[in-house]
Structure 1
Amino acid sequence: MDRMKDKVVLVTGGASGIGLSAANLMAAEGAKVVIADFNVDGAIEAAKNIQLRGGDAVGIFVDAAKETSIQEAIEFTAQRYGKLTCLFNNVGLTNLKKDLDVVHVDLDEWDRLMNVNLKCVLLGCRFAIPHMIRAGGGSIINTASMAGFTGDAVRVAYGASKAGVVNLTKYIATQYGKHNIRCNAVAPGLILTPAAQDNMPLDVLNMFAKYNALPYHGEPDDIGHTVLFLASDESKFITGQTIQVEGGHYIANPTVPDFEQFVQSV
């Protein structure tokens, strides 16, 4: 119950899904948690639920597209709890209608995703790092994606922005490691968040399942537990890394499921 004792954490995008899981798990291990989200009602409700379980949390508004809003969330956290020792940059957007292939991607959408998915990570770190230096160190965790490691038929802006998160994570780790600040990222595969369950047809979910090494999809807590590990001192000698949490979806020759089906048919 004390893996996060004396830690003060800001979780952006924490009202639901992966962010909510991480906030709950870190609070249960003793962290003081600020949950920031555009859905401020959801953030406040999430914090109230943590309080009901005996934890210390507060929900606030953040607009990850606006520099001032990100800075205000950082400053609020540091002022409320006297310090900031952990930042989970978890805001991210995707748009299957406008984020298409290279020839057809909407350029305004490209700019929007780069701003929210990548620049907001930079800004969160920019404003948090001075507080972490004053606190004697800290841990930053960024949400990347397996889209940052592979190519796809669509979502070129999303993939490029998440690849940027992977490399930005290395730069932050390199530049601030001597200040006892670690920076890592987590790259989820398909995770059954409420949004994924509401928006993905069963046929698409089955398509992903076909290529997983494991016989099930990931859930928010699979990422949340990874974030908890990276935020805690248990990972104190890990920095600059992106941990891929994707059920083995990308580890094998992509023809394996089709070859197995072929073998069974002959």
Structure 2
Amino acid sequence: MGRVQGKVALVTGGASGIGHSAATLMAKEGAKVVIGDFNVDGAKEAAELIRNQGYEATGIFLDAGQEESIKEAVEFTVNQYGTINVLYNNVGLTNLQKDLDVVNIDLAEWDRLMNVNTKSVLLGSRFAIPHMIKAGGGSIINTASMAAFAGDSTRSAYGASKAAVVNLTRYIATQYGKDNIRCNGVAPGLVLTPAAKNNMPEEVLDIFAKFNALPYHGEADDIGNTVLFLASDESKFITGQTIEVEGGHYMGNPSIADFQEFMKKTQQ
């Protein structure tokens, strides 16, 4: 207990899934948490669940596609709790219908994903950093994705936007390290959030499982616990890094799952 005791954290996209997990875990470890989400009712419900467990949290509206809304979320956090020590930039969008291959992608969707997935990280950091400097330092954590490190047949804008988050993380870490501000990223693989469970057919989940090094899928708390670690002083000498939390899905030779299956057949 107390791994982030006394810290003030703003979590964007915290109404459900990974953001909700991170907000809850940080609150349980002593942080005062502001949960910002476009789904304001969900943000308030998430905060209420945390308060019902005896911890401190507040839910507010946040539109990560609007500069003023991001600024207001940071200012609310500082006004509510006196400072901001941790910023978790977690908002991210994807659209399988419009975010296609390079020839067929909807260009308006490209702009939208770049604005929400990448620019929101820039803006959240831009508004939080001056307050962190006054507080003597802080930790910025950004949700990237394994899509930043591997090509795919679709989701071109999503992958590009998350690759930009990875490098922006390095730039923030480099530019503000002397102010005792750390900046790191987390790159999830497939995580069984409610959205994933509700939208992915079992056959698709089985395909992912086939290529995982581990015999199971990730859960929201697997990412939440990584965020908690990066928010805490346990990670005080880590900055500019993006931690891949993906069950070894991208680690091995891509043919190894099929090869293992072939070997099993030959041994029967």
SS in 2 for 1:59: strand
SS in 1 for 2:5: coil
Name the amino acid aligned to 1:189: G
Name the amino acid aligned to 1:145: S
> Cα RMSD between the aligned structures?
0.5
Aligned to 1:183: 183
Alignment of 1:141-220 (within 5 A): 141-220=141-220
Gaps of 5+ in 1: none
Equivalences, count: 266
1:24-43, Cα deviation, whole Å (9 max, x unpaired)? 00000000000000000011
1:73-124, Cα deviation, whole Å (9 max, x unpaired)? 0000001101000000000000000000011110000000000000000000
Question: Separation in 2 of the partners of 1:220 and 1:260?
Answer: 29
Name the amino acid aligned to 1:124: G
Cα deviation, residue 263, structure 1: 1.9
SS in 2 for 1:102: coil
Cα deviation, residue 49, structure 1: 1.0
Is 1:256 the counterpart of 2:256? The answer is yes
Name the amino acid aligned to 2:225: H
Aligned to 1:43: 43
Name the amino acid aligned to 1:126: R
Name the amino acid aligned to 1:180: N
Gaps of 5+ in 2: none
Aligned to 1:140: 140
Alignment of 1:28-39 (within 5 A): 28-39=28-39
Question: Separation in 2 of the partners of 1:205 and 1:48?
Answer: 32
Is 1:83 the counterpart of 2:83? The answer is yes
Aligned to 1:102: 102
Question: Separation in 2 of the partners of 1:118 and 1:3?
Answer: 29
1:205-236, Cα deviation, whole Å (9 max, x unpaired)? 00000000000000000000000000000000
Question: Separation in 2 of the partners of 1:22 and 1:262?
Answer: 40
Question: Separation in 1 of the partners of 2:178 and 2:164?
Answer: 23
Cα deviation, residue 264, structure 1: 2.3
SS in 2 for 1:182: strand
Question: Separation in 2 of the partners of 1:258 and 1:167?
Answer: 33
SS in 2 for 1:244: strand
Cα deviation, residue 200, structure 1: 0.3
Aligned to 1:61: 61
Question: Separation in 1 of the partners of 2:247 and 2:63?
Answer: 31
Cα deviation, residue 168, structure 1: 0.1
Cα deviation, residue 2, structure 1: 0.8
Question: Separation in 2 of the partners of 1:48 and 1:103?
Answer: 45
Cα deviation, residue 265, structure 1: 2.4
1:129-173, Cα deviation, whole Å (9 max, x unpaired)? 000000000000000000000000000000000000000000000
SS in 2 for 1:119: helix
1:19-60, Cα deviation, whole Å (9 max, x unpaired)? 000000000000000000000001101111111111111000
Share of identical aligned residues, percent?
73
